Amino acid sequence: MFVSNIEDIPGKTITTCYGIVSGSTVRTKHLGRDIFASIKNIFGGELKGYTELLGESRDEALDRMKAQAQQLGANAIVNVRFSTSSVAAGAAEIYVYGTAVTVE
Amino acid sequence: MDGLIISLIFLVLGYVFGKLAERRHYRSIHAREEILVRLPTTSCKKPIKTSTPINHAELVHGHVVISIDYFKRLLAGLRNFFGGSVRSYETLLDRARREAVLRLKESCPTANEIINLRIETSSISKGGSGDRVGSVEVLAYGTAIYYEQASTQPSLL
User: Domains in chain B, start-ordered, CATH in brackets?
Assistant: 2-147 (3.30.110.70)
Confidence check: pLDDT of B128 > 60? no
The arrangement of strands across the sheet holding A2-3 comes to A2-3, A76-88, A91-103, A14-28
Whether residue B71 is predicted with pLDDT greater than 80 in this model: the reply is: yes
The CATH number of A2-103 is: 3.30.110.70
Is the ipTM beyond the 0.95 threshold?
A: no
- Inter-chain contacts counted by CB atoms under 8 A, chains A and B: 133
pLDDT digits (tens, 9 = 90+) for A5-35: 998 888 889 999 999 999 999 887 666 667 7
pTM: 0.85
Confirm or reject contact between B66 and chain A (CB < 8 A): yes
Cα separation, B92 vs A69, in Å, equals 38
CA distance A70 to A93: 23
pLDDT digits (tens, 9 = 90+) for B10-50: 888 888 888 888 899 999 999 999 999 889 999 988 888 77
Using a CB-CB cut-off of 8 Å, the residues of chain B touching A5 are 59, 116, 118, 141-143
Q: Do B145 and A10 touch (CB under 8 A)?
A: yes
Strands A76-88, A2-3: parallel, antiparallel or unpaired by DSSP? parallel
- The span from the CA of B36 to the CA of A66, in Å, is 30
Mutate to test the interface with B, among A29, A46, A97 (most CBs of B within 10 A): A46
At B69 the three-state DSSP class reads coil
Q: Is the pLDDT of residue A96 over 90?
A: yes
3-state secondary structure of A60: helix
Contact B127, A87 (CB under 8 A): no
